[in-house]
A and B are shown apart, each in its own frame.
Chain A
Amino acid sequence: QVQLQESGPGLVKPSETLSLTCTVSGGSISSYTWSWIRQPPGKGLEWIGNIYYSGSTSYNSSLKSRGTISVDTSRNQVSLKLSSVTAADTAVYYCARSVGYGSSYFDYWGQGTLVTVSS
């Protein structure tokens, strides 16, 4: 059974960089696309961006180029960096898997990790 686990600081100061890691277990990171999705408290879901295991990325332009997603196939990990954060970036951050390359639906999700932006 594939499992995804997000990890990283739960509190980030405004203007700093949010850094999260998603560790994939029970399956290979290869041949799949891995996304980061966030959900502000009490609100809906926003797709941040994704990365194919080979390294090809796509991002939501709403992030205004603040996001960077990378993959480490040797560690079965996907990472997210979001720079210049503000309170509006406070959310539960999920990593999720899509089958194959390109835009798709999400068949496996991590449990999510809450990141609060506050001084």
Chain B
Amino acid sequence: EIVMTQSPATLSVSPGERATLSCRASQSVSSNLAWYQQKPGQAPRLLIYGAFTRATGIPARISGSGSGTEFTLTISSLQSEDFAVYYCQQYENWPLTFGGGTKVEIK
């Protein structure tokens, strides 16, 4: 099983600032990496797939990068609607696995 490790667990950021979230895979997942945003009481929402391709309707301030074992999700200027929990997910191998999440909170 590929273990996905996200850091930090919690990120405190002021509105308008940049947020950088990390995701590390225990072995290479190539570019088979997705990012999701989850708000309280809601289902996760797809943000990024293929490590860097934005899903439909996702604003340009959200971007993904990386390949192999190291990935980054960047939110260039945090808006109020961006405060949430973010998960990465690999789809290189079975079973499909998620990271433990990074909570982005208001500083």
Contact = CB atoms under 8 A, between A and B. Distances in A.
B43 A47 contact: no
A111 B87 CA distance: 17
A88 to B, nearest CB: 17
A47 B97 contact: yes
A74 interface: no
Contacts of B44: 45, 94, 106, 109
Contacts of A119: none
Contacts of A35: 96
Contacts of B34: 105-106
Contact of A45 (B49, B92, B94, B98): B98
Interface in A69-117: 94, 96, 103-107, 109-112
Interface of B: 32, 34, 36, 42-46, 49, 55, 87, 89, 91-101
